[in-house]
Structure 1
Amino acid sequence: MVLTSAKQAFQDWKGSENSFGKLSNLQSLCDVCGGQHASMAHWEFMQTMPQDPVDLMDDMVKMGLFRENQLRTADSVNAYELRKALFLKRVGRNDPKRERLILALCRQAGGLENAFAAAFGPQAGLFFADSIRNSKTGRREFLRNMAVGAALVTLAGCAGGNEPVAEDSANAPVGDANLEKTDLQIGFIPITCATPIIMSEPLGFYEKYGFNASVVKMPSWGAVRDSAIAGELDAYHMLAPMPIAMTLGLGSAAFGVKLASIENINGQAITVAEKYKGQVNGPADFRGFTMGVPFPYSMHNLLLRYYLATGGIDPDVDVQIRPVPPPDSIAQLVAGDIDAYLMPDPFNQRAVYEGAGFIHMLTKDLWPGHPCCAFAASDEWINANPNTFRALNKSIIEAAGYASDPANRVEIAEAISERAFLNQPTEVVEAVLTGNFDDGNGNTLSVPDRIDFDPYPWQSFANWISSQLVRWDLQGDGLAPKSINEQGYETVGTDIFLTDLARELAQELGQEPPTEIYRTEELMFDTFDPADPQTYVQQQIDEYGV
């Protein structure tokens, strides 16, 4: 009786002068599919609706805008998935042409969020807040998200008819139905750089793409390299320079590896043993030190060498740099086997937590936005599993996007701190991810981008890494300079860093990756022009003598 009266009232409203025309302004024939559904003047319509979410929800239901199964679907899918999965999956219907059209329209609107704003009004951002993921979400916020979620489900009818949405569609994986392999094992080192790879297991990003995936803890980067060559696992967490080094045969037999996406930017630090407190103020003060890095072909080694050289330190003569597996770094610092290290977190923050050392410098101060770790797989595995590789990379890129939101960092810290993953105190991991931390020198700092997550593999990253492999010739046999100079920096980078694919997958997810592949990189002591890396190397040698 109440619902019948509400519908009659709605029909009266529809015909009134205050209805800004007919309901045909809201429910009209669609130019795309020919069906009748909400397709015009959404923002005007929403402005006339109640602002209270409970009343808004009630009115939308009473107007008959949503079927019951649409409400159940909206109830079971959170706002995050509705934005990034349901809209593309249902509206795109796995039709690449349709998805490209949708994404092109979203780009015209300035991004997926702006497209939603154009459709649902200036307050769309509130409707699509990820609050459903938060257990503290109130009933009003939940109902508001559910109402707009149901609206998206209704829009999903624009795919060649108005067939009802299947009730189990909310739980259907969004991965390619033609996956060559679904049971996966992905190697990782227990550091915060691996956050997107690790969190994708407990937070369900792998499962969302149709994978039964497990992350496998590895003891060292040497073990990661050897396991990849042996084909023991499916994909890997690798240091950004490793795919270049392995493909060129630096430190091992040549073995083709592709860097699919960047795991993290920033997120490292130089930590010094407690006994040197007050004695280390700049690079020249490290003379005579034994210093640890996680692997020779790492951003850590290259950045440490870059820093030391500016203080007149020859990294191959005036200090001893040796590889130390990150989990062993604090024990070696306490034992006096090493005096300092440039390591990934959480081992810098854990040293402060244990009173074993202090943070001398965050690497973001050496190079803001520098790459560190990456998601990678061998050429052989990618060729054998192209659909699986694409879907797996997409899940990692989506996870990186989720991790890039500071609002999600506390949740992530709790998820990845567990024994099976980082096996670290949650407060240590949270200090790293949130950037609210003590540095061991009596300072409490707030550095929100101490670590960040941007999956885009800039070709300028590849060129800088190659330039430093040429500069330092880590093997001492001339192989790196010879190989890179003969092949060319651009060829090495574009063959190994899959920038175009990462952009394509990010766009499919509604993210807004750059369209350029190179950018000028601003470091602490110089500026890197990726168009002329050889001149950059020579300038470094001329200025610092090494």
Structure 2
Amino acid sequence: MSSSSVINSLNKGKIFDNNKNTLSNTKQWCQSCASFHLPRDHWKFMSEDMPQNPLEMIDDLVKMGIYKPEAFKMADMVNTADLRKALFLKMAGKGDSKREKLVLELAKQAGGLENAFAAAFGAKSGEFFNDTIQSGQFSRRRFLKNLAVGAALISLANCAPNNQSSQTEETSDAPPTNTSNLEKTELQIGFIPITCATPIIMSEPLGFYSKYGFNAKVVKMPSWGAVRDSAIAGELDAYHMLAPMPIAMSLGLGSTSFGVKLASIENINGQAITVANKHKGKVNGPADFKGFNIGVPFPYSMHNLLLRYYLATGGIDPDKDVKIRPVPPPDSIAQLIAGDIDAYLMPDPFNQRAVYEEAGFIHKLTKELWPGHPCCAFAASDNWISENPNTFRALNKAIIEAAGYAQDPANRPEIAKAISERAFLNQPVEVVEAVLTGNFEDGLGNTQSIPDRIDFDPYPWQSFANWISSQLVRWDLQGDGKVKQAITNEAYDEVGQEIFMTDLARELAVELGQTPPTDIYRTETLEFDTFDPTKPGEYVEEQIKKYGV
């Protein structure tokens, strides 16, 4: 039987009572909603005859059989703040453009999110709701857990998609978000299409931005140089950056000095050294890379610093025995296949994609070099933060919450599907899921299960900043001694604490119910040594003495 036949048969005898030839009060199949609900005049009933007392409406809805009394057991426990939270946090976005339009329209007609609740229950609640209904398209979803009061809340909850799950229903116990003080709500956030940007990317389709009152769009950038240049030009509001970039830019390394703050860490781990298949069986350790052309995404990247750290342990001078050059991550596989590079240390999904394309094999995950190392970050300029302090705080909070959601392995398949789309990573979902879940083929005939191949911990440890600064000093990437002059042994802590916003990240995480560390420094254990963040200068001296570079 066709779907239209099913609908027709369902409508027969449902819309009209055969005995009374009148409209029935039973639920009926709606073609526009693709679900059962009241007859076609139920919106008219709600708009024109809506009780002004929400409790009366509840009684009417129960009598009409729309909801069972059990659904309202928690209603007496719900206060005004809970309702605002449910309406504007639980219902906003979720990646459905129709729903986003509806919620924005509700807020707009109410004169702002803070006024929307009052508008829904005030003297003009029927007019307010009827206008909103006429402006949108709707479909059904299950009634919000434990909440039942309010005409706007009930109608929104009843008319959203059945199959939409809500990340905020399960993860957010924070107070209702105050969006009335945002200096800016239309935002553009630059990103490079890599899994390191997962919290920044997923916040658009999964609704974390809209939850905090933003109409934020992530903007795909071609390279890290382009991100840097767009940041300096003021073309973006905020950015996905490599963790060393805010330090390098603030110190004027590779560009004019430009103040940037690292607000939170996007990902830990999540990179790998991938080698072209033509070298299979010939590369077992760092010494075997001698003479290679090796790609990294940017000079001031964890990729470059970790690659240099690894090569040096095998007696390889990164500036003499190999050639390391910047390669935009999206170009890395093509260059590997063409033979322009022999290997690369890149962010995923390009390591896994090389295996998928049978172009290369994964030699080493960077989590083996430094478990829990930082990679990418959410950042904004000093000027933008100063001009938009409330917006910056709310935006950072949205991303920290998204990172917390991504920490749960159970959410990774959903996230992989959301960020794999053409507008974001533009990668096969199985490749992205292999990275996020840690269940992957390594290109050497092995099936690996490493759940923390990539992970998401937004806390910006000051020890991260000190290690990064120590390696900038060690390798003097500009070759003019500028880094060594800027970062003396006494200046490590000053540089880190000026640029890494650890205290704010902790504060926002606590507001979200997360449990961030209270310390700002920790001893970092790497594969070949241990880093004491209180002695970065001594650490560099020990490395040079041990390996000669």
TM-score, normalising length from structure 1?
Answer: 0.72
Greater helix proportion? 1
Alpha-carbon contact 2:264-2:460 (below 8 Å) kept: yes
Residue 423 of structure 2 is aligned to residue 426 of structure 1: no
Residues in 2 aligned to 1:64 and 1:408: alpha-carbon distance in whole angstroms:
30
Structure 2 residue identity aligned to 1:427: E
Residues in 1 aligned to 2:155 and 2:489: alpha-carbon distance in whole angstroms:
52
Match of 1:187 among 187, 190, 193: 190
Residue 532 of structure 2 is aligned to residue 533 of structure 1: no
Q: Which residue of 2 aligns with 1:497?
A: 500
Q: Which residue of 2 aligns with 1:295?
A: 298
Structure 2 residue identity aligned to 1:198: I
Q: Which residue of 2 aligns with 1:383?
A: 386
Note the alpha carbon deviations across 1:480-500, whole angstroms, 9 max, x for none. 111011761000000000000
Q: Which residue of 2 aligns with 1:243?
A: 246
Note the alpha carbon deviations across 1:121-156, whole angstroms, 9 max, x for none. xxxxxxxxxxxxxxxxxx9xx89x824x67xx9xxx
Where 2:457 maps in the other structure, the secondary structure is coil
Where 2:241 maps in the other structure, the secondary structure is strand
Structure 2 residue identity aligned to 1:146: K
Residues in 2 aligned to 1:178 and 1:62: alpha-carbon distance in whole angstroms:
34
Residue 487 of structure 2 is aligned to residue 484 of structure 1: yes
Q: Following TM superposition, by how much is the alpha carbon of 1:70 offset from its aligned partner in structure 2, in angstroms?
A: 11
Q: Which residue of 2 aligns with 1:466?
A: 469
Where 2:488 maps in the other structure, the secondary structure is helix
Alpha-carbon contact 1:261-1:498 (below 8 Å) kept: yes
Residues in 2 aligned to 1:340 and 1:64: alpha-carbon distance in whole angstroms:
60
286-295 or 60-69: bigger deviation:
60-69
Q: Which residue of 2 aligns with 1:100?
A: none
Unaligned runs of 5+ in 2: 1-67, 93-113, 115-140, 158-174
Residue 340 of structure 2 is aligned to residue 337 of structure 1: yes
Alpha-carbon contact 2:247-2:495 (below 8 Å) kept: yes
Residue 509 of structure 2 is aligned to residue 506 of structure 1: yes
Residues in 1 aligned to 2:260 and 2:456: alpha-carbon distance in whole angstroms:
22
Alpha-carbon contact 1:73-1:170 (below 8 Å) kept: no
Alpha-carbon contact 2:238-2:379 (below 8 Å) kept: yes
Alpha-carbon contact 1:264-1:455 (below 8 Å) kept: yes
Match of 1:228 among 228, 231, 247: 231
Match of 1:545 among 529, 537, 548: 548
Match of 1:314 among 307, 312, 317: 317
Q: Which residue of 1 aligns with 2:117?
A: none
Q: Following TM superposition, by how much is the alpha carbon of 1:64 offset from its aligned partner in structure 2, in angstroms?
A: 8.0
Where 2:250 maps in the other structure, the secondary structure is helix
Residue 268 of structure 2 is aligned to residue 269 of structure 1: no
Q: Following TM superposition, by how much is the alpha carbon of 1:211 offset from its aligned partner in structure 2, in angstroms?
A: 0.5
Residues in 1 aligned to 2:155 and 2:308: alpha-carbon distance in whole angstroms:
53
Alpha-carbon contact 1:60-1:66 (below 8 Å) kept: no
Residue 431 of structure 2 is aligned to residue 437 of structure 1: no
Alpha-carbon contact 1:413-1:426 (below 8 Å) kept: yes
Residue 199 of structure 2 is aligned to residue 200 of structure 1: no
Q: Which residue of 1 aligns with 2:527?
A: 524
Structure 1 residue identity aligned to 2:493: E
Structure 1 residue identity aligned to 2:456: F
Q: Following TM superposition, by how much is the alpha carbon of 1:212 offset from its aligned partner in structure 2, in angstroms?
A: 0.7
Residue 280 of structure 2 is aligned to residue 281 of structure 1: no
Residues in 2 aligned to 1:71 and 1:174: alpha-carbon distance in whole angstroms:
11
Q: Following TM superposition, by how much is the alpha carbon of 1:167 offset from its aligned partner in structure 2, in angstroms?
A: 3.8
Q: Following TM superposition, by how much is the alpha carbon of 1:199 offset from its aligned partner in structure 2, in angstroms?
A: 0.5
Match of 1:304 among 307, 310, 315: 307
Residues in 2 aligned to 1:412 and 1:347: alpha-carbon distance in whole angstroms:
17
Distance change (3 Å), C-alpha of 1:332 and 1:510: same
Residues in 2 aligned to 1:205 and 1:432: alpha-carbon distance in whole angstroms:
22
Residue 145 of structure 2 is aligned to residue 146 of structure 1: yes
Alpha-carbon contact 1:238-1:375 (below 8 Å) kept: yes
Q: Which residue of 2 aligns with 1:371?
A: 374
Alpha-carbon contact 1:265-1:370 (below 8 Å) kept: yes
Distance change (3 Å), C-alpha of 1:69 and 1:483: closer
Residues in 2 aligned to 1:169 and 1:320: alpha-carbon distance in whole angstroms:
62
Q: Following TM superposition, by how much is the alpha carbon of 1:65 offset from its aligned partner in structure 2, in angstroms?
A: 4.9
Distance change (3 Å), C-alpha of 1:228 and 1:79: closer
Residues in 2 aligned to 1:279 and 1:265: alpha-carbon distance in whole angstroms:
29
Structure 1 residue identity aligned to 2:429: T
Residue 416 of structure 2 is aligned to residue 413 of structure 1: yes
Distance change (3 Å), C-alpha of 1:359 and 1:67: closer
Alpha-carbon contact 2:438-2:453 (below 8 Å) kept: yes
Alpha-carbon contact 2:84-2:176 (below 8 Å) kept: no
Note the alpha carbon deviations across 1:457-512, whole angstroms, 9 max, x for none. 00000000000000000000000111011761000000000000000000111111
Alpha-carbon contact 2:85-2:177 (below 8 Å) kept: no
Distance change (3 Å), C-alpha of 1:335 and 1:401: same
Residues in 2 aligned to 1:62 and 1:312: alpha-carbon distance in whole angstroms:
70
Residues in 2 aligned to 1:501 and 1:74: alpha-carbon distance in whole angstroms:
23
Residues in 1 aligned to 2:304 and 2:184: alpha-carbon distance in whole angstroms:
36
Residues in 1 aligned to 2:256 and 2:73: alpha-carbon distance in whole angstroms:
69
Q: Following TM superposition, by how much is the alpha carbon of 1:236 offset from its aligned partner in structure 2, in angstroms?
A: 0.2
Residues in 1 aligned to 2:372 and 2:228: alpha-carbon distance in whole angstroms:
25
Distance change (3 Å), C-alpha of 1:73 and 1:259: closer
Distance change (3 Å), C-alpha of 1:65 and 1:406: same
Residue 398 of structure 2 is aligned to residue 395 of structure 1: yes
Residues in 1 aligned to 2:526 and 2:178: alpha-carbon distance in whole angstroms:
39
Residues in 2 aligned to 1:477 and 1:62: alpha-carbon distance in whole angstroms:
70
Distance change (3 Å), C-alpha of 1:469 and 1:170: farther
Distance change (3 Å), C-alpha of 1:259 and 1:168: farther
Distance change (3 Å), C-alpha of 1:340 and 1:62: closer
Residues in 2 aligned to 1:206 and 1:301: alpha-carbon distance in whole angstroms:
32
Q: Which residue of 1 aligns with 2:407?
A: 404
Distance change (3 Å), C-alpha of 1:68 and 1:523: closer
Note the alpha carbon deviations across 1:356-389, whole angstroms, 9 max, x for none. 0000000000000000000000001111111110
TM-score, normalising length from structure 2?
Answer: 0.72
Alpha-carbon contact 1:267-1:344 (below 8 Å) kept: yes
1:8-23 aligned within 5 A: none
Q: Following TM superposition, by how much is the alpha carbon of 1:80 offset from its aligned partner in structure 2, in angstroms?
A: 11
Alpha-carbon contact 2:264-2:501 (below 8 Å) kept: yes
Note the alpha carbon deviations across 1:387-413, whole angstroms, 9 max, x for none. 110010000000100111111100000
Q: Following TM superposition, by how much is the alpha carbon of 1:168 offset from its aligned partner in structure 2, in angstroms?
A: 8.3
Note the alpha carbon deviations across 1:409-447, whole angstroms, 9 max, x for none. 000000000110000000000000000000000000110
Structure 2 residue identity aligned to 1:234: D
Note the alpha carbon deviations across 1:149-183, whole angstroms, 9 max, x for none. 67xx9xxxxxxxxxx89848999982431111110
Residues in 2 aligned to 1:486 and 1:430: alpha-carbon distance in whole angstroms:
43
Q: Following TM superposition, by how much is the alpha carbon of 1:343 offset from its aligned partner in structure 2, in angstroms?
A: 0.1
Note the alpha carbon deviations across 1:313-344, whole angstroms, 9 max, x for none. 00000000000000000000000000000000
506-515 or 165-174: bigger deviation:
165-174
Note the alpha carbon deviations across 1:198-251, whole angstroms, 9 max, x for none. 000111111010011100000000000011011111000000000000000010
Unaligned runs of 5+ in 1: 1-56, 82-93, 95-138, 154-163
Distance change (3 Å), C-alpha of 1:439 and 1:253: same
Q: Identical aligned pairs, as a percentage?
A: 77
Residues in 1 aligned to 2:322 and 2:75: alpha-carbon distance in whole angstroms:
74
Where 2:473 maps in the other structure, the secondary structure is helix
